[in-house]
Amino acid sequence: GDSVTQMEGPVTLSEEAFLTINCTYTATGYPSLFWYVQYPGEGLQLLLKATKADDKGSNKGFEATYRKETTSFHLEKGSVQVSDSAVYFCALRVTGNQFYFGTGTSLTVIP
């Protein structure tokens, strides 16, 4: 069935370090892929998305490229800030009604 596997955390980085959070997926059909961010005590917010192969989603300095050949959608940011500390969720939706979420990766950025 459809599923998402993302890198386990927690991840701790120093400010201005490079961030990669890995996400791979299994899906029948052609999924759309998403990254959501959850700040402490809040709901999930859409960070970026890509709807077809080779699309690159980007927002707030974060990027992810939809790679069909490796079934991946890794999240990257060139220089993280303390304010990026949050939990990040990779998700997919195929044609249908349900999102499939990864288990989340907690990121802490220290000054």
Least Cα distance to 89 among 30, 40, 41, 47 occurs for 47
Contacting positions for another protein (CB under 8 A): 31-32, 34, 36, 42-46, 49, 51, 89, 93-95, 97-99, 101-104
* Nearest distance, CB of residue 70 and another protein, angstroms: 20
* Nearest distance, CB of residue 25 and another protein, angstroms: 13
CA dist 27 and 53 (Å) reads: 13
* Nearest distance, CB of residue 110 and another protein, angstroms: 22
Is the Cβ–Cβ distance between 92 and 34 less than 8 Å?
Answer: yes
